């Protein structure tokens, strides 16, 4: 059984490395960019072609699995029964378009809704974060990661999405004030890499399943808490206001949420 997952892992790593080469090559040509829900929610030809490529590869690796993909080339899911792969072909599309940097490919593998393996690939730095319960740890390429220090909110930096801060959703401004500072990197995958590396203690953002599926698996493997902003489990089939944080910082942030409710 363990060997089966090891082999699956090797196939996913190989698939992602090939996908990276293709993306780097296509980035040499002009992108085709379109707006989705609004002018800041973008999709490019590469988001689409890379999702198609990844899903085709997943179907070869795991023919009976179902796949949920951001750009809609997977299956329409109403439950998480059996093996489900959740795919974000380019996370941080605005960074991808404007910076050609600071974006990620992400894959999360679930079995009956339970975390198995997660992958966040920092494409430009060529660092693949891979791991989960089925591998018994998390690796950044060959380097095994240690669990981030359990910092209190005041002791570390918190990642956030810009709109949450500006509109002060979920007491974001009070949370930032209580922290050591706010950072905004523009990609859920890049934010989660910072938490895995112990460079941020948390991240708060509205996230779709493909934004958080891989990170949830990797983060929880290292003891980082992943919940909704009010401490409930995520609904992995829908959008959530997600709170990722060290145990202590999660407690501090839930206290800020609770204090306000009691006003």
Point out which residues bind a second copy (CB under 8 A): 40, 94-95, 98-102, 156-157, 162, 165-166, 173, 176-177, 180-186, 194, 199-200
Query: CA 75 to CA 61: how far, in whole Å?
Result: 16
Q: Which residue has the tokens 């990844």?
A: 54
Residue 160 neighbours by CB distance under 10 Å = 25
Q: In angstroms, what is the minimal distance from the CB of 254 to a second copy?
A: 21
User: Which C-beta is closer to a second copy: that of 48 or that of 102?
Assistant: 102
Quick one: which of 18, 75, 15, 26 has its CA closest to 49? 26
| Binding residue ranges for Mg(2+) | 70, 88, 90-91, 211
Strand partners for 5:
none
Q: In angstroms, what is the minimal distance from the CB of 213 to a second copy?
A: 23
Query: CA 212 to CA 106: how far, in whole Å?
Result: 9
Q: In angstroms, what is the minimal distance from the CB of 102 to a second copy?
A: 8
Q: In angstroms, what is the minimal distance from the CB of 236 to a second copy?
A: 26
Half-sphere exposure of 95 (CA within 13 A, CB side): 19
User: Which C-beta is closer to a second copy: that of 18 or that of 99?
Assistant: 99
Q: What is the β-pairing status of strands 83-91 and 66-69?
A: parallel
User: Which C-beta is closer to a second copy: that of 34 or that of 56?
Assistant: 34
């Amino acid at each position: 059984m363990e060997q089966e997952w090891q082999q699956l892992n090797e196939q996913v790593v190989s698939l992602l490395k090939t996908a990276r080469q293709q993306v780097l090559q296509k980035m040499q040509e002009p992108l085709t960019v379109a707006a989705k829900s609004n002018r800041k929610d973008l999709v490019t030809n590469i988001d689409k072609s890379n999702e198609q490529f990844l899903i085709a590869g997943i179907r070869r690796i795991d023919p009976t699995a179902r796949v949920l993909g951001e750009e809609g080339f997977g299956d329409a899911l109403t439950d998480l029964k059996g093996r489900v792969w959740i795919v974000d072909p380019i996370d941080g599309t605005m960074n991808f378009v404007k910076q050609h940097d600071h974006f990620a490919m992400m894959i999360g593998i679930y079995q009956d809704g339970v975390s198995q393996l997660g992958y966040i690939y920092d494409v430009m730095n060529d660092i693949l974060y891979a791991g989960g319960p089925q591998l018994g740890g998390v690796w950044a390429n060959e380097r095994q990661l240690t669990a981030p220090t359990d910092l209190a909110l005041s002791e570390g930096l918190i990642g956030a999405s810009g709109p949450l801060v500006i509109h002060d959703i979920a007491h974001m401004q009070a949370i930032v004030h209580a922290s050591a500072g706010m950072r905004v990197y523009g990609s859920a995958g890049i934010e989660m890499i910072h938490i895995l590396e112990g460079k941020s203690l948390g991240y708060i953002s509205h996230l779709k399943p493909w934004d958080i599926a891989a990170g949830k698996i990797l983060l929880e493997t290292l003891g980082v808490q992943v919940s909704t902003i009010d401490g409930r489990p995520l609904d992995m089939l829908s959008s959530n206001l997600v709170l990722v944080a060290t145990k202590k910082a999660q407690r501090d942030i839930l206290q800020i949420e609770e204090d306000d409710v009691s006003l």
